[in-house]
Amino acid sequence: MSLQIRIPPVLRPSVGGARQVEVSGATLREALDDLFAQFPAVQPQIVDGEGQINRFVNVYVDNEDVRLGQGLDTPVADGGTVIVLPAMAGGSVFPPNVCRGGGDVLSAIGGTPLVELPHLRPEGGARVWAKLEMLNPSGSIKDRVALSLIEAAEAEGRLTPGSGQVVMEPTSGNTGIALAMICAVRGYRFRAVMPESATTERVQQISMYGAEIVFSPGELGSNGGVALARELAAADPSIYMPFQYANPENPNAHYRTTGPEILDALDGKVDAFVAGLGTGGTLMGVGRALREANPDVQIVAAEPLQGESVMGLRSLEDGYTPEILDVSRLDRKLLVTNTESVLAMRQALRREGIWIGVSCGAALSVALRVAGQMDPDQNVVTVFADGGARYASANLFEERDGEDLEELMEDRLWW
């Protein structure tokens, strides 16, 4: 009798990265025994020393928790599916953001907690949840993408660990920081092409990893950085440029990790997902994973007004549109202003105790709008892509008498 065991992201390193494993058995116990025979490393993560299911691991047969029925003696049907799901609330086999299996710092990427924002929930509206991506090793969601970009290049033979090859990427922040960290670990030299108007903290952090920075004209924004990076890469074929804007490994990273983690944390009950419109990778990758689980889920983009410089986001009206972004796969696209973004960021800090960046404030502002239009038994999820420390010098976190946020943010590139 053959069936599939669905493997959550936290356990996939122990089964070679597989999303599902085919096993044999007439009962759950027999099916798990076959799984453990194939992948011994996963056994102590699912059952205890007495062979019973670990306290913080839920197992479902035909979508029903076996703890409330026959446990390990639960019959399994031929062609059926068993779901193994470590709990994300009330405990976990692995604490979020802890290296699994004794790996280096890169093994700590992903597995970030999903927390509820009860103090910001609109009255009568849906519950609102946020994934704390600032808890990745270099401090942002881009650790997932950067690792996927580099590992794909290694698998294709374009990069060789320890070779000292030059990796170059246009960036004004999070992706550059993440690539600088990963290149330091993998033994590559990293060159960031950055607009000279990027925030001081981002420039400093990239430099601290030992990376080189080439500045592009600030008045040309991120589009100018993209153009200069392409020109430099074309002139030197020895440079490898992952180019997150067109590289399918950007959304694939979120399809493989971020989306399944969200589904696992909420038992698949996600009614709307909101993220900022940056490269489009998060929206495309997470959206694909969520839609496979629930075709009715709303995928919503937070987009800055044309000319607005909301940190981390892009207006499609301002120029270059990333190749990986397919707007037809979005359900809604809502505009957000600098002021709305900063006010939501301040609310997160003062009412939920979470210090986030302004692009996170933009996504939160839109998520709260969406939640206010939904029912109380529904869930809206957003991602907090990074933390507020990278923007401390902008002086945006404390309200000042007579402040004009639009003017304050006008001359700095936040993306």
The CATH number of the domain holding residue 382 is 3.40.50.1100
Report pLDDT for 307: 47
Do 231 and 275 fall into the same domain? no
> Distance from CA of residue 234 to its chain's centroid?
30
Do 175 and 52 fall into the same domain? no
Structure tokens at 364: 């939160």
Report pLDDT for 197: 80
- Pairing outcome for strands 189-195 and 298-304: unpaired
Report pLDDT for 292: 93
Asked if 274 and 382 count as a contact pair (C-beta separation under 8 A), the reply is yes
CATH of the domain at 51: 3.10.20.30
Report pLDDT for 330: 95
Report pLDDT for 328: 92
Known catalytic residue: 365? no
**In a domain? residue 306:** yes
Do 286 and 394 fall into the same domain? yes
Do 62 and 81 fall into the same domain? yes
Residue 193: CA atoms inside 13 Å, Cβ hemisphere, count? 25
Sheet of strand 64-65, all strands in order from the earlier edge strand to the far edge: 20-24, 2-6, 81-86, 57-61, 64-65
Do 305 and 361 fall into the same domain? yes
Report pLDDT for 394: 67
- In angstroms, the CA 286 to CA 263 distance is 10
Asked if 277 and 306 count as a contact pair (C-beta separation under 8 A), the reply is no
Do 383 and 278 fall into the same domain? yes
Mean pLDDT over each residue of the chain, to the nearest integer: 86
Of 193, 210, 235, the last residue of a domain is 235
- Beta-carbon contacts of 206 under 8 Å, excluding residues fewer than 6 positions away, are 176, 177, 180, 190, 192, 194, 213
Asked if 356 and 344 count as a contact pair (C-beta separation under 8 A), the reply is no
- In angstroms, the CA 377 to CA 271 distance is 10
Backbone phi and psi for residue 318, each to the nearest 5 degrees, phi listed first: -95, 5
Known catalytic residue: 359? yes
Write out 78-117 in H/E/C secondary structure. CCCEEEEEECCCCCCCCCCCCCCCCCCHHHHCCCCCEEEC
**In a domain? residue 99:** no
Report pLDDT for 96: 41
Do 330 and 209 fall into the same domain? no
- Catalytic choice (222, 309, 359, 365): 359
- Beta-carbon contacts of 311 under 8 Å, excluding residues fewer than 6 positions away, are 341, 357, 358, 359, 362, 391, 414, 415
**In a domain? residue 413:** no
Q: What residues make up the domain containing 6?
A: 2-86
- In angstroms, the CA 261 to CA 131 distance is 9
Question: Residue with structure tokens 């996927």?
Answer: 148
- In angstroms, the CA 57 to CA 138 distance is 29
Report pLDDT for 56: 67
Structure tokens at 2: 């053959």
Report pLDDT for 415: 38
Do 129 and 278 fall into the same domain? yes
Do 121 and 216 fall into the same domain? no
- In angstroms, the CA 274 to CA 285 distance is 12
Residue 200: CA atoms inside 13 Å, Cβ hemisphere, count? 4
DSSP 237-288: TT-B---TTT-THHHHHIIIIIHHHHHHHTTT---EEEEE-SSSHHHHHHHH
Do 361 and 395 fall into the same domain? yes
Asked if 303 and 327 count as a contact pair (C-beta separation under 8 A), the reply is no
Do 381 and 253 fall into the same domain? yes
**Domains in the chain, number:** 3
**In a domain? residue 95:** no
Residues lower than pLDDT 50 in the chain: 88-101, 306-309, 311-312, 314-318, 411-415
Report pLDDT for 407: 56
DSSP-derived 3-state class of residue 7 = coil
**In a domain? residue 100:** no
Of 201, 235, 269, the last residue of a domain is 235
Asked if 2 and 22 count as a contact pair (C-beta separation under 8 A), the reply is yes
**In a domain? residue 332:** yes
DSSP-derived 3-state class of residue 244 = coil
DSSP-derived 3-state class of residue 398 = coil
- Catalytic choice (140, 142, 197, 365): 142
Do 257 and 210 fall into the same domain? no
- In angstroms, the CA 212 to CA 45 distance is 42
**In a domain? residue 242:** no
**In a domain? residue 414:** no
Structure tokens at 186: 């993998």
